[in-house]
């Protein structure tokens, strides 16, 4: 059996428009295969768990209306009712760990959300909780840039998640090449990452390792420019009228409106890069 790499389905159903989502699904799986791994795109199809969706099933996630975004709280509901469920990072980590898959690739993880004043809120992604209790290795581009990054960084530390930087000393922030927040350790080679993963396993530690890789420089968006966009959006009088759960979609919309195609291109570039890196790690772990 080839070393397996878990991939999520939420980015296909909710993250990118058609046909960019279909193209990404194919290219991410191709990147894993090119590095000698087996892609396992996880999702719920008509109430049944798919640890590796077929191409026809992937296209359903990309094109069908009403695909539910599935995290841990609604995973049993969607399965019990025979629904189509696109797995978030949290659900994908959980299901990958159950299936014995040691490595996952994604874009950006969830974290602590901001309020309309830019302060951290109690609204916390289930991604953080699951990272704290599933000993997988997640390759990503750091937390999504719209989050409260300082609070998210602190929460990862509290959950015991080891934060590694792939050839960087600073935590990436999704499509931003870097943020001001340092990682726990920098790794310049796959062998260094493998050594750390094996030590974590030998110590029987329950939390994930987060290997963060900056988006390729050609596609990276300046951190200051993204923060300025978010700051302007939060200072708009309309932001003060938002309910807590409305702030994040509002910020996402503001970033898309300002950065447009550049944000989409950066998103695709980092997802493809992370799929390749995750496959290299999965192969190295099996040696």
- CATH class belonging to 4-286: alpha beta
- Collapsed DSSP state (helix, strand, coil) of residue 185: strand
Residues 6+ apart with CB under 8 A from 1: 38
Query: From the candidates 8, 29, 59, 68, which is the catalytic residue?
Result: 8
- Collapsed DSSP state (helix, strand, coil) of residue 80: helix
Q: For 186, phi and psi rounded to 5 degrees?
A: -95, 140
User: Is 144 a residue of the active site?
Assistant: yes
How far is residue 16's CA from residue 216's CA, in Å, rounded to a whole number?
19
Q: Name the burial class of residue 72, with classes exposed (0-12), middle (13-18) and buried (19+) by CB atoms within 10 angstroms of its CB.
A: middle
Q: Is the Cβ–Cβ distance between 285 and 194 less than 8 Å? A: yes
Q: What is the DSSP letter of 29?
A: H
How far is residue 26's CA from residue 20's CA, in Å, rounded to a whole number?
10
Query: From the candidates 59, 68, 130, 144, which is the catalytic residue?
Result: 144
Query: pLDDT 10s per residue in the chain (287 long)?
Result: 899 999 999 999 988 889 999 999 999 999 999 999 999 999 999 999 999 999 999 999 999 999 999 999 999 999 999 999 999 999 999 999 999 999 999 999 999 988 878 899 898 999 999 999 999 999 999 999 889 999 999 999 999 999 999 999 999 999 888 999 999 999 999 999 999 999 999 999 999 999 999 999 888 988 888 888 888 888 888 888 887 667 766 877 788 788 778 888 888 999 999 999 999 999 999 98
Q: Where are the beta strands (DSSP E) in 131-192?
A: 137-140, 162-166, 185-187
Q: For 40, phi and psi rounded to 5 degrees?
A: -130, 90
Helix ranges (H only) for 71-134 are 75-80, 89-98, 126-131
Give, in order, the Cα–Cα distances in Å from 267 to each of 45, 62, 137, 217. Answer: 25, 16, 20, 12
Q: Please give the structure tokens belonging to residue 240.
A: 């003060």
Q: What's the pLDDT at 2? A: 97
How far is residue 286's CA from residue 29's CA, in Å, rounded to a whole number?
19
Distance in angstroms between the alpha carbons of the first and the last residue of the chain: 13
Give, in order, the Cα–Cα distances in Å from 215 to each of 172, 173, 188, 202, 267. Answer: 8, 9, 16, 31, 8
């Amino acid at each position: 059996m080839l070393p397996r790499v878990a991939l999520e389905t939420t980015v296909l159903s909710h993250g990118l428009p058609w046909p960019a989502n279909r193209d990404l699904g194919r290219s991410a799986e191709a990147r894993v295969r090119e590095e000698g791994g087996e892609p396992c795109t996880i999702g719920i199809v008509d109430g049944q768990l798919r640890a590796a969706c077929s191409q026809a099933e992937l296209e359903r996630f990309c094109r069908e209306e009403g695909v539910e975004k599935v995290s841990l709280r609604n995973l049993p509901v969607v399965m019990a009712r025979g629904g189509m469920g696109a797995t978030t990072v949290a659900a994908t980590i959980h299901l990958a760990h159950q299936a014995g898959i040691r490595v996952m690739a994604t874009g950006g993880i969830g974290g602590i959300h901001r309020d309309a004043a830019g302060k951290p809120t109690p609204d916390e992604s289930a991604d953080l909780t699951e990272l704290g209790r599933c000993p997988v290795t997640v390759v990503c581009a750091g937390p999504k840039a719209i989050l409260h990054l300082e609070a998210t960084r602190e929460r990862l530390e509290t959950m015991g998640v080891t934060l590694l930087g792939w050839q960087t000393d600073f935590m990436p922030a999704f499509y931003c090449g870097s943020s001001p927040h340092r990682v726990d350790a920098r790794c310049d080679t796959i062998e260094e990452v493998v050594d750390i993963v094996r030590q974590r396993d030998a110590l029987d530690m329950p939390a994930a390792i987060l290997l963060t890789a900056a988006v390729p420089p050609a596609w990276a968006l300046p951190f200051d420019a993204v923060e300025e966009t978010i700051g302007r959006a939060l200072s708009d009088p309309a932001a003060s009228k938002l309910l807590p759960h409305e702030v994040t979609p509002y910020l996402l919309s503001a970033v898309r409106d300002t950065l447009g195609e550049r944000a989409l291109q950066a998103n695709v570039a980092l997802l493809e890069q992370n799929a390749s890196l995750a496959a290299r790690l999965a192969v190295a772990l099996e040696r």
